[in-house]
Structures are given as structure tokens and as C-alpha cells.
Structure 1
């Protein structure tokens, strides 16, 4: 059981409202509701009676409320004790990176950072988008590198975070070059087999909002496989399972060597911002140095 999960449970218990608890936890209501659903799925039972207003704890949860509160206090103190003293003065930093960026753009960003200061030690934690923000908010990560749709905000109030655009990418449709004739035949018959992403992950939401409505005007999209891993979707597209929408940075090498075909001339693609995110407030010297370097790299890239 994670500390942030226990804190989420207490926030609902204390406010009696998912919307107020979400505000307290610095998340949008939809992102917070997904977190609560994930907690309940992990435990295997419902924690709250949603039929009552204000929201009530189920009896089993209510009986454990005091123990949850004690655990939260003890874990917070443990974290403080473990981190106190040397973290902000050391050359160590924790970076959370969205999975799709961990094997593509993040290594380039980290290489640029270490070229300016070879003594910096970076602990890289790969996670999905929501977990990257959870790591940031619980101070288990100093900086997060994540995707965002242009002109949209992250699911955390700008009052609490600072964001810098450090790169640009694009979600593009790709398929095996050797088997593209097969895909064309299916397309001509009014069908597009594709790799789906779960609806509760970032790329799943992007596909449903910005890609599939356009595809449906062209043909009938038919999901063949669902995966949350873009690397898995890339490999399945490369062997001809179905078309997949993949970040261009991740697909570039396969496109350049001819094994993948970029379908963007026929099918829609989506622009993406690559952003660095950190909590507002006092930063240690290493975090401040790395943040300045990221911002400087972004400025150079735009010129």
C-alpha cells in the first residue's frame, strides 16, 4: 500500500467529497477518481459508499480509519527522516519519466544534463503519466518528464507546479513496411485493424478524443490488441499485427531503416509537447541546475 494511496483515502474520509478531496490532493477530479478506482482494484473491494452524500466510508474502511491515519503519520515521518540533511546538498536527483519517453527522448535530455555536470547521479523512474505526477506530488521524484497536448494544462493546478516545454513530438500511425499492401487491402474493404491503448492511460485518451473520430469518417477502426505499453505496440506494428499510433521519436529508427511505414499521409497524427514538470517552491542546487539546463536546451531547440 502506497503512502499517497493512504493519503487519498483520508482525504475523502475527511472531506466527504471526491471533488474536495481531489482539490486537496492537487489533482483534477477525473484523475483523482481514477486513482481511487486503482486503489480499490488493488485491494479488491470498494472503500466508499458512493450512494450517500456526503460520501461515506464502508464499515470495514471506517474501522481502519485511525490505523490509516497513524500509518500516514509514521510513513511521512520516516520519509522526512530518511531524506533529511543531505539530499538537497548531494549530487543526486530523481527523475520520473513517462514510459514512452524513457527509451526515446529522455536519454537525450539526461545526456545533455550530464555533459554539463558529469558528477550528477540521476535515478530514473519510468511510469505511466498519472504515476509520474504521483511520484512528483509525494516528493519521490524531483522532476517529471511527460507528454502533454499543446495548449492543454497538466491535470494539476499551475498553482502547485512549474512546467517547461523541452521538446516536441508527434503521435503517428505506423505499420510494417513489408506488409503494408495487406493493410491497404483491409482499408479498401472499409476496415482498419489497429492496436488500442486502455482508456485510462494518456495515449488511450488521445486516441479516443483526437484520432478515432477522424478515422471513423474514413473507415471502420477495428481493435486487434490492447496494450498500455507503446514499445509493445511498436513491435506488434512492426511484425504486421495491426497499425499502431506511436510517438515519432520512438518509431524514427524503424522508419529510417525501412522496417516501419509512416501512414500519416492517410491517417491522422497528433502533435505532442514534451514537458519537464516540478513542484513550485524552494529547490536544491542540483535540481535548480538541472532545471536551468533543461530550459536552456529547450530554448536552443526552438531557435
Structure 2
């Protein structure tokens, strides 16, 4: 466990982040959600921190929860220590990768289970001794991992004609290929779906508005659907694989990348409704920060760029 020694107490990074989460949210419940813990587990952990340090940190008598004055005075120092420790860990990991043939890649969830394995297969075939650590995350998390240098390359979707959220002054991007967001549904239940569609409603699987596919659905798909029928959300999930399975059992129409649904469409489990409902083109891109200092990262990037060139040549 990463830790720093402060005034005789061993301060773990997770403790610092717990304290900051409460300070920034003003709520144990919201802080617990941010730290991916139940409120009771988070409260116990905060109590444990206070017992280990030997002082109370929060004024629990006030709503929202506030830092005690002595804690508030040290808030900037706590934030600095947390940032310094995160950077230290990132530097150590980067140094370890530089000393070996290791590379870390972040992949958007939907790509992790479809196209990214093919990209890694290509890399493995050309660079036999390279060890890849693959991290699956949503789009924002992929870029956060890239910016904090916890990964060397991110493989993510992008809408044609739009930029990534990081300025191209800091990153370089290679378009590896393309995919398409397609509407799919249980092939054995399309008669019932058609009847509901004819009656003026379309059950569908929603994505949260803060995730990439949720934004695409809200901005570019549903406005077109509303010209045809009334879309009715039947379930919501941030996991594309879960949306796919919900479509398989007939809960609602799911818009998922074709690369993810291809096998289920081919074996007749899913019906591709693209002839009736709107679809949208997606670009598959690889992104890295400028100035990668070690050979293995540059070699992997060169292979990805070469793969992108092959895809473009095949398309031409």
C-alpha cells in the first residue's frame, strides 16, 4: 500500500483521498459514492483514519459535514501530498516500464471486448517480447489515465469530424479503423417490437448521459427516433455488454457498436434494425501524449500507426 510518513503517522494515499473526498463533497454519502464504498464502510474507514492519526478531522454536527479548523488549515497540504504521491507512483511505474518491455494501454469498455484484442494480437505478432497491461475504462477515465501517465496509449472511439477532449497540442492521434453504432433486438421477438413500433412507441436501453455512448444516443440517435416513434427507456446501464444482453432477452432496442454485436447478428440471436432505425458512424482511434521517452512505447505506437495505414489502404 502506498504511504507517506507525516508527523509520525503513516498516511496512506487512500486516506488522503478519503479526507479530500469529504472536504470536496461536504457529505459522507457522496464521498462514499466517489470512493466506491457503502456509506457505512466509508464511515468506518474515516473513523479508522482518525483513530490512527489520533485526532478528529470532521465536524459531524454540521450539515453539510465540514472540516474541523485544524484539518481545514492543512487541506492544501493534504491535496499536495496526495498529488505528490500519485505522481511518485506514476513515475515509479513509468520507470519500471522503461526498464522492461512493458507498456500500459487503456481501452474504452466497448472496444476492450471487440476490436482492442485484435489490435493487441497485431502488436504481439510483430513485437513478441512486449508485455501489455490492458486497462478497461470509460472514455473520460481513459483520458485521465493517459494524462496522469498511468497508461502510454488510449484506444477510444471518436465521432467523425469532432476532436478529442484533449487539445492536439498535447496528444497525437491515429485513426485505426471505423465502427458503427447499430440498433439491435431479440430476433425471436421482432413481431412484438414491430407491433409496439406501429402503435407509436419504441422501448430502448439507455446509457447514462455522462458516458460517451449516452451522449451519442441523446444528441444524434434519439432526435431521429422521435421522428419515427416515441422512445421509451426500459433500462439504463453504462456497460455496453450489459446493453447487448438486455437486447438479447428483449427488454428493449440497444444501440451498440457493430463490432460487439456482429457475432450475435450472424448467428441469428439478434436482429439488426438499421434498415428502419438510425445508426451512427464511429472512428476507432489511438491516442498518446507527445514525447514518449522509451523505445517500447514508440515501437508499439509505430505498429498501431502501421495498422491504421493498412486499414485505410483496405478501405480505399
TM-score, normalised to structure 1, is: 0.80
What residue in structure 1 maps to residue 236 of structure 2? 226
Q: Provide the C-alpha distance between the structure 2 equivalents of 1:75 and 1:180, rounded to a whole number of angstroms.
A: 51
Q: What are the equivalent positions in structure 2 for 1:164-203 lying under 5 Å apart?
A: 164-203=174-213
- Structure 1 segments unaligned to the other structure (5+ residues): 14-37, 45-57
Say if 2:85 is the partner of 1:80: no
Query: Contact 1:163–1:275 (CA<8 Å) still a contact in 2?
Result: yes
1:137 to 147, 156, 163: 147
Aligned partner of residue 167 in structure 1, secondary structure: strand
After superposition, the C-alpha distances for 1:109-131 in whole angstroms (9 at most, x for unaligned) are 00011001111111100001100
Distance change >3 Å, CA 2–CA 156, structure 1 → 2: farther
What residue in structure 1 maps to residue 275 of structure 2? 265
Aligned partner of residue 128 in structure 2, secondary structure: coil
What residue in structure 2 maps to residue 108 of structure 1? 118
Q: Provide the C-alpha distance between the structure 2 equivalents of 1:113 and 1:259, rounded to a whole number of angstroms.
A: 32
What residue in structure 2 maps to residue 122 of structure 1? 132
Say if 2:221 is the partner of 1:211: yes
Q: What are the equivalent positions in structure 2 for 1:1-303 lying under 5 Å apart?
A: 42=34, 62-63=72-73, 64-84=75-95, 86-303=96-313
Give the superposition deviation at 1:39: 7.1
Distance change >3 Å, CA 67–CA 288, structure 1 → 2: same
Query: Contact 2:104–2:151 (CA<8 Å) still a contact in 1?
Result: yes
Q: Provide the C-alpha distance between the structure 1 equivalents of 2:169 and 2:32, rounded to a whole number of angstroms.
A: 29
Distance change >3 Å, CA 2–CA 202, structure 1 → 2: farther
Give the superposition deviation at 1:79: 3.5
Aligned partner of residue 226 in structure 2, secondary structure: helix
Query: Contact 1:89–1:285 (CA<8 Å) still a contact in 2?
Result: no
Query: Contact 1:195–1:244 (CA<8 Å) still a contact in 2?
Result: yes
Q: Provide the C-alpha distance between the structure 1 equivalents of 2:223 and 2:102, rounded to a whole number of angstroms.
A: 45
After superposition, the C-alpha distances for 1:54-112 in whole angstroms (9 at most, x for unaligned) are xxxx766844222221232234234424543x422421110100000001000000001
Query: Contact 2:94–2:150 (CA<8 Å) still a contact in 1?
Result: no
Aligned partner of residue 87 in structure 1, secondary structure: helix
Q: Provide the C-alpha distance between the structure 1 equivalents of 2:248 and 2:268, rounded to a whole number of angstroms.
A: 10
Give the aligned length: 261
TM-score, normalised to structure 2, is: 0.77
Q: Provide the C-alpha distance between the structure 1 equivalents of 2:273 and 2:84, rounded to a whole number of angstroms.
A: 53
Give the superposition deviation at 1:160: 0.8
Query: Contact 1:96–1:125 (CA<8 Å) still a contact in 2?
Result: yes
Superposition CA RMSD, Å: 2.4
Query: Contact 1:144–1:278 (CA<8 Å) still a contact in 2?
Result: yes
Distance change >3 Å, CA 269–CA 39, structure 1 → 2: farther
Larger Rg, first or second structure (1 or 2):
2
